[in-house]
Structure 1
Amino acid sequence: MNAKSFIKTICSFLPRDMFYSKEYREYSRILNEYEKWDERRILDFQTQEFIKIINHAYENIEFYKELYDKNNIDINSIKSLDDIKKLPIITKEDVKSNIDKFLDKNINKNKVFETYTGGTTSTPMRFYNTKITNEREKAVYNWIWNKFGYKGVGKEACLILRGNTDNDFDLYKYDAFNKYYIVNPINIDDKKIANIINLIYEKRIKIIQAYPSLIYLIAKYVDTNNLYSKVKSVSNIFCSSEKMYVFQRKLINKAFKCKLVDYYGHNERTTLFYYDNNKHIEVPIYGITEVLDETGNSVENNERGYIVGTAINNYAFPLIRYNTKDSCILLEKNNGHIFISDIDGRAGDFLVTSSGKYYSPTNLEFAIDKIDNFKDVQIVQNDYSNVDILIVPDENYCSEDGKAFKRELEKIVADEMNFHIKIVNKIDKPKNSKSRFVISKINN
């Protein structure tokens, strides 16, 4: 055990509250109080935070100053949440084209953290968070977990089946401080799934955090091999980062017989929903959410529209009326909350090898970090041996970009596959839906 692991193990025996920041504790307090608020109190809070972020953006963010002046918007006329409709909607392209103009002119760059959006549907977008936004993010997710029975990070054994790990060969690494069993999600096959199920059984795992596509594969194996007794210790499964389909939810519920919660959010941190009782429920103090049609007007109940969010926690890099390009069906607005269903976000097939290994779109997405100069990208598997990489280049693209992306995919996919780079003018997208990052023509 190295020194860092030893210290983490010692710290795991200390009271958890010792390690929470003042910002974390304060935001946790607000989240707990908010559950008792009525519609009026929620609206007052949103209005107050909205006015604050709008005025800050106009005074300190070059992009908004230019945008609002260009559109003859009197910032002093913005006095209520209804006035949000006066403001232009911005897009990911606006942010990428004006990245430096979105950063607070008074901010010390050493005080912000650079991060990126996922790149499954377009070029990743760079933006910035602060320590405050990061601490509030931890608090809100812990609040959701607590709400559904998870006692908290570091209090119960938790299996992490998502993200990227350092070693492609280990089944898992253990984080004693957080009581995390972090499984490497690369190279998922039946043997690895069996080992994961044994890990759940031997360590009496209670909580699982996973990509929907990966926990579905495990559920399918449990169901096929009648291994229900080996996963009965699991009390909660929390999923994010991919759309969870009805067939996935049904089988996961059957295999694990526990509380299954997924939530909708994104790295831009403008809006957040959690799933309960067949619908996604907004967390209204996290951000301001609108569901709008193509023309920017609010949709009616039971109509599909785009999710547009306004961040109220990030003053260093505020996103105001940001079109996520994710669509959903608006169910209703009630008691200060928005209820939605059928979110169309990240989607895609598995890449499947002749030896039976599966690679989800989210696993393959890590390769995108190796390619900068593209407008769009898609992976199309024609058969077990041949995979096309469709790239729509931008003006700075060169052949080395494609080769770097190809090399990274070859690292992720351990089996022998032939990747073919194809430069295209565009990638066709289904109407009213995001394109799939991975398309597999193999019947799996």
Structure 2
Amino acid sequence: MQHETSACPAGHGSRQTEGPERTQGAQGTEGTEAADLREREPIAFPTARPTGCPFNPPAELGELREQDPLVPLQFPDGHVGWLATGYDMVRSLFADPRFSSKYELMHYPFADIGELPSAPVGDMTGMDAPEHTRFRKLLMGRFTVRRMRELTSRAEQITAEHLDAMERRGGPVDLVKEFAQPIPALMICELLGVPTVDREKFQKWTLQLTTHVTDQQAQGEAMNALGEYMHKLVLVKRANPTDDMLSDLTKNDLTDEELTGVSSFLLAAGLDTTANMIAFGTFALLRNPAQFAALREEPSLAPQAVEELMRYLTIATTTVKSALEDVELDGRLIKAGQSVAMSIEAANRDPLRFPDPDTLDLRRKATGHLGFGHGIHQCLGQQLARVEMQVAIPALVSRFPDLRLAVPSEDVPLRTGMSIFGVHSLPVTWGEA
């Protein structure tokens, strides 16, 4: 029996504006309405997604964006900062050097978790220039066209092996466990030069870190084991370099601690996000049968399909920056020390940038989306992520043209309350019902 696979109705995440221009804040509005918008009370961050539409952002985010792309926000720890929702606003904040990405300066918009520690060694997401610049320059040259081309061939091989295993086993299977997680895990092994004999235990540790059924003790043990392993691998690569990124990095002035930190950062940044995009992207296609069929019949759509899925799903929903000095934006004064929560998912559904934004359209030219961020912190491994998704998703659709959910769509467990949105598991099947 095939379960319901209809797409979410449009309009649950964004509201199309009437006419070509949106009223920015209250500019162009008269009387008390202008004062009300400009002097509104701080709000709590909207988190409730529309029932039955897991792909759409909270409807309130779209409503806020249409009223005013920058509003006061009450953070759970008592801090009063700002919430940015418009595409132009969020994009400009990404690139503005007057705002810091340091963890210790920011407030968390979803829960009171106390004062955040500074970024671990090698974690570029929580660094500012010039420290960030030093690490990024060293890594940028390692994501070369040659290496990406070599990794494309390996991605195709890994993908085919896992599709073969799925076909031999038969459905139903959990697509997350059997397909979406192993591919980026093995690709990171290729990137860092993890020896073949170690890859099984490497995969075991990474799966323990990313699955929701793992207890905290097991996750802590896996994290410690990975850290110790990466440190030993750094020493091995220094002594006997091979043709991989980690070996290349040992030729620079990075310390062993920095190399271990950078390797761990690449692992954390490239595993969970890509695995979720493969699984959640498949879920979205299964809920949009016409788009699934378009990719099945025209595999050459893969590059722009991946960009559209990145825009439409925006699994990294929100980021935060903090003002280093007083900054005036859109007529509002953001004071030094105030945090600004940037809703990337609201920005990627902005109808002024992407017409009919709540519709998944694989033929859309979604260039300029903010799914990989923007500015100096734009995702370093975005080209590798594109390679993995452009290979894995079309190959899955091609191998199993009658792929379908094995449970009702409302029973698919979502990753709510986590920094990366997506699915914990995705039961799928194929063949005769």
From the two aligned structures, give the one with the greater helix fraction: 2
Name the TM-score class by shorter chain: under 0.3
Which is strand-richer, 1 or 2?
1
TM-score, normalising length: structure 2: 0.28
**Larger relative contact order (CA 8 Å, sep ≥ 6):** 2
TM-score, normalised via structure 1 length: 0.27
